[in-house]
Amino acid sequence: MAEDHPEIHLEVTDHVAVVTLHAPDRRNALTQDMAEALIATCERIDADPDIGAAVIQGAGGHFCAGAHRAVLDGAGDDPADPDNYAAIGSVYDAFQRVGRLAVPTVAAVRGAAVGAGVNLMMATDLRVVSETARIIAGFLRIGLHPGGGHFTLLGRTAGREATAAMALFSEELDGVRAREVGLAWDCLPDGEVEARALELAARPASDPALARAAVASFRSEVDPPGTSWEVASQAERASQMWSLRRRAQARDDA
């Protein structure tokens, strides 16, 4: 089975859905259209009871470079404009929808995962990363407040210290360091990442009904209490929109 959008590809084999972000010319940065296609792909996966797991990966040797610059610049020029607000909201909605998939999910991370791309990899249940991956929160580096529940997504897996290092102090992690701090389950040479992610996904996928029941229990029991991802995303949004507008004003004044 294959369902394709020009920039979001879906292949289903042996009960495993492989979702590939396919915009390699921009390192798979998410536009509004691409984000909406990713949401629609998640809906197709959930609607197919024969799918028991999903792998999220990127084409062209990179995972995801975050929100496309045009999305960020539009929000900065006029954060209150309904179209601009909807565009950046679609990016948030896309990785949140991945996080709500009804099946266990694995991110296969090669190359760059930046900003919202980090959010996307952290939205999955498990991560396999390349030794040479570049995992960069990146928001403060470009004058932006983190968005999409970034602190919550990092903190629930990596803990306070790693979250502070990445999101506040702009520390960049390679795959080896990501595994050391608990952001990934496995770290492998670049060419082995996607095969390992598929190997892992195949195990729960062999019994789709059980996989769906088990992952629902896993998330409800294991994800830490406190600020929910959805609430955190909304809490960060006002500050991020302010920082986008401030950056645009600085650009215009230059």
Give me the tens of pLDDT residue by residue for the chain, a chain 254 residues long.
445 789 999 999 999 999 999 999 999 999 999 999 999 999 999 999 999 999 999 999 999 998 887 666 555 556 656 666 666 778 889 999 999 999 999 999 999 999 999 999 999 999 999 999 999 998 999 888 898 889 999 999 999 999 999 999 999 999 999 999 999 999 999 999 999 999 999 999 999 999 999 999 999 898 866 557 777 777 777 777 777 778 777 777 77
All domains of the chain in start order, with CATH:
2-193+218-253 (3.90.226.10)
3-state secondary structure of 204: helix
Question: How many Å from the N-terminal Cα to the C-terminal Cα in the chain?
Answer: 51
**Using an 8 Å Cβ cutoff, are 148 and 119 in contact?**
yes
Q: How far is CA 2 from CA 9, 22, 79, 152, 187, in A?
A: 8, 14, 37, 34, 29
